[in-house]
Structure 1
Amino acid sequence: MASRDSLGEVFRVSIFGESHGPGVGALVTGVPPGLEVDEAYINRELERRRPGGPYASPRREADRVEILSGVFRGRTTGAPILLFIRNVDVKPGFYEEFRYKPRPGHADYVAYERYLGHQDYRGGGIFSGRRTAALVAAGAIAKLVLARYGVRVYAYVKSIGGVEARVEPRDSEEFRRAIDGDPLKCPDPEASERMRRLVEEARREGDSLGSVVEAVAFNVPPGLGDPPLGGVDALLARAVMAIPAAKAVEFGEGFALALMRGSEAHDSPRAVGGRIVHETNRSGGIVGGLTNGMPIVFRVAFKPPSSIPKPRRTVDLRSLSEAWVSGRGRHDPVIGPRAAPVVEAVAAIVLADLLLLREALLPGWVEDLRPWTRGEAGGD
């Protein structure tokens, strides 16, 4: 009956904690020794997803990490790293009503069945988005591993409520600032303004909106992955679909490929500077489960937050009679802006694991990556 709370093989992340318990955290194993890391760096990553602001939950959490092991004098030791983030602004009383009256769209009912009524129902317990803070903290460590290989990951809000950003992702600090400088994590100012008006309208009406997050990983070398079941797309899909409210994922052109002919859908390789690149990237940098050296591009669709003020019908599990609930508590009107840093962190964890696994299997392989890590191939 145990939960599956771990991700990765070599670089392995296990998360723990509940929404309204003492805190949430992550145990990260397989981290190479000597990486420079401190709490301030992880806190900056956490700042990108923490609650607060006009377009997020009003829950007031500082989200300050405590590194309890695995780091000594500012560098990783090679031992397991334990990261802990305390919950401060907890209000479990909000959720007593939902102990036996499951909220539509939430995991309340299925958790009741799965754990025989013993689940922590406060704020959704282990099903809460609160746990994603632990993933972001672990993802900060994963990004340090990626930096050794010159790999960088960016995630941003692609669409909200049908309003789509039109932007060309690029591997630059300017692109990073454009994402983080926007309250909705959308680097297209015009689209962001239209999205904001939609979010404000939905909030006034007591409703919520769906969203799509796009992630791009640059300078990923070719040949990563262990197909068929350990393909890079399969691993990324499994990981991101574990993020609360994620309902769909597509790579490259995704579902649009189903509308193309074979003559349109392929990516033709060519030689440039002694390396193989591709004229297009419709496959999103992954073919047959293996990376092809082009940027990895994928999108994750998030459903509208299920907690809304509007009353909705449910069932009282004690009497099996009809009941009604409304969205008490503090919730986001749209998930994408806070989910983008989580998608980025999860992608970093998966890629760090794949890179370290490849290096473990082929010692010295990293030396052959110098042109890739300098961005001389497989870039934009």
Structure 2
Amino acid sequence: MGNSFGRIFRISTFGESHGLGLGVVIDGCPAGVAIDEDFIREEMQRRKPGQSKITTQRKEEDDFKILSGVFEGKSTGTPIGMVIMNTDQKSKDYSHISDKFRPSHADYTYFEKYGIRDYRGGGRSSARETAARVAAGAIAKMLLKHFEISIHAYVSQVGDLKLEKNYRDLDLTLTESNIVRCPDPQMAEEMISFIDGVRKDRDTVGGIVSCVAQGVPPGIGEPVFDRLHAELGKAMLSINAVKGFEYGSGFEGVKMRGSDHNDTFYRDGDKVRTKTNHSGGIQGGISNGEDIYFNVAFKPVATIMQDQESVNESGDAVLVSGKGRHDPCVVPRAVPIVEAMCALVLADYLLISRTNKL
């Protein structure tokens, strides 16, 4: 019930923020994919908490164990089971909100839906759940690597600080060179200083993660209701704190005329290309072979270190005090999550496309 994603390359995640651990079952991964555990570990390290002064100070190594589906370094075609144990949960930090609803959290909605909720860090609604997605996304990336498809995400905006450069004008290899994961060194320093200032104010701030997928062949996607960009949108909007998704020219495209927005086709050797790419690599819900690029907007983290008015489970007015360890800005750690979800979509649709024709 809402815990699985994908059709052929399909994942099901489980676990809570303060439970014993989290995990994922990956079904539909073809046999023979080289599984590099060091690469999975690197991806997990990019998402883990406690990695810098501008992230939550919860200390989780996010180590993992592969329980099934891999033999002698390759996938066997059977379900791949993975677990990530929690080691630094401090549930007492949440005892003060055991019957209170935190503003802009899922506390109230989970309580209304289930009649019970895990108040320890939000339980299943916590962003800690995304650790399992990153583990699965690493497997998807290994499959995509076989088809020479790469995915690169980076932080392009924090609050009002916006990186105006196009991704083609950036050196995306610099993304991991700083703690905010912005490939422009000067802007990165400004972002880090700004986030640190927000943290000292006991507040939070939002931002945007931009992502580009390169090497995606034309013809990947489905018509009408299962369009490629629709599935990417669903994937991104399933990530905690995401408030918006746009691909290609996005909302800026409304300012253009059709004569300027249309992507003109031309022949480049044995390939059909477009002179511009306002379509974001997708037309009619199907990839056209150009770069697929999109932006994902994240709201300010809901937990702030300030007192806020709210109500409890009985409907009485209460004061909610911010405690615990939380990110002042989620976007630096969201970069690998965005990449993972993109990889899961592309892996799934790549396998679907291979069943659509002889």
The TM tier, using the shorter chain, reads over 0.9
Partner of 2:306: 310
RMSD, matched Cα: 1.4
The one-letter code of the counterpart of 1:180 is E
1:340 aligned onto 2:349: no
Q: What is the DSSP-based 3-state SS (H/G/I as helix, E as strand, rest coil) of the residue aligned with 1:229?
A: helix
Contact preservation (8 Å) 2:217, 2:288: yes
2:102 aligns with: 103
Q: Distance in 2 between matches of 1:23 and 1:66?
A: 11
CA deviation string 1:90-114 (max 9, x = no partner)? 1111112222211001100011101
**Hey, what does 2:30 align to over in structure 1?**
32
Q: Which amino acid aligns with 2:123?
A: G
Which residues of structure 2 form unaligned runs of 5+?
none
Match of 2:189 among 173, 180, 193: 193
TM-score norm. by structure 2 comes to 0.97
Q: Is 1:144 the counterpart of 2:158 in the alignment?
A: no
Matched, 1:82 2:78: no
Give the SS at the match of 2:89: coil
> Once structures 1 and 2 are overlaid, which stretch shifts more, 353-362 or 58-67?
353-362
User: What are the residue-to-residue correspondences of 1:166-245 with 2, within 5 Å?
Assistant: 166-169=164-167, 175-176=172-173, 178-245=174-241
Alpha-carbon distance between aligned partners in 1 of 2:185 and 2:163, rounded to the nearest angstrom: 9
Letter in 2 for 1:340: V
Asked if the contact 2:236–2:341 (Cα under 8 Å) also holds between the matched residues in 1, the reply is yes
2:49 match: 51
- Rounded Cα–Cα distance in structure 1 between residues aligned with 2:36 and 2:132: 16
Between the aligned residues of both structures, percent identity stands at: 43
How many Å separate the matches in 2 of 1:200 and 1:208?
Answer: 10
> Displacement, 1:175?
2.5
Structure 1 Cα separation of the partners of residues 219 and 37 of structure 2: 34
Between 1:340-349 and 1:321-330, the stretch displaced more is 321-330
Aligned 8 A contact 1:216 1:295 in 2: yes
- Letter paired with 1:313: E
* Alignment-derived partner of residue 247 in structure 1: 243
Aligned equivalent of 1:274:
270
Q: CA deviation at 1:169?
A: 3.1
TM-score scaled by structure 1? 0.91
CA contact (8 A) 1:69 1:80 kept: yes
Structure 2 match to 1:63: 62
Deviation at 1:278, TM superposition (A): 0.7
Alpha-carbon contact 1:39-1:65 (below 8 Å) kept:
no
Aligned counterparts of 1:38 and 1:292: Cα–Cα separation in 2: 30
Distance 1:209 1:73 in 2: 45
Please give the per-residue CA displacement for 1:26-48, whole angstroms capped at 9, x wherever unaligned. 10011111112143221111011
1:352 aligns with 2:350: no
1:136 and 1:230 map into 2 onto residues whose CA distance is: 23
In structure 2, how many angstroms separate the alpha carbons of the residues matched to 1:26 and 1:169? 32
**Structure 1 gaps, min length 5:** 364-380
Partner secondary structure for residue 84 of structure 1? strand
Number of aligned residue pairs: 357
Q: CA deviation at 1:9?
A: 0.7
* Separation of aligned partners in 2, 1:41 and 1:293: 27
Contact 1:24 1:131 in 2 (8 A): yes
**Per-residue CA distance 1:257-312 (angstroms, 9 max, x = gap):** 11222222211111111211111111211111111111000000000001111111
Change (3 A) 1:239 1:20: same
Task: Pick the aligned partner of 1:263 from 253, 259, 280.
Answer: 259
Equivalent residue number for residue 10 of structure 1: 8
C-alpha contact (below 8 Å) 1:167/1:187 kept by paired residues: no
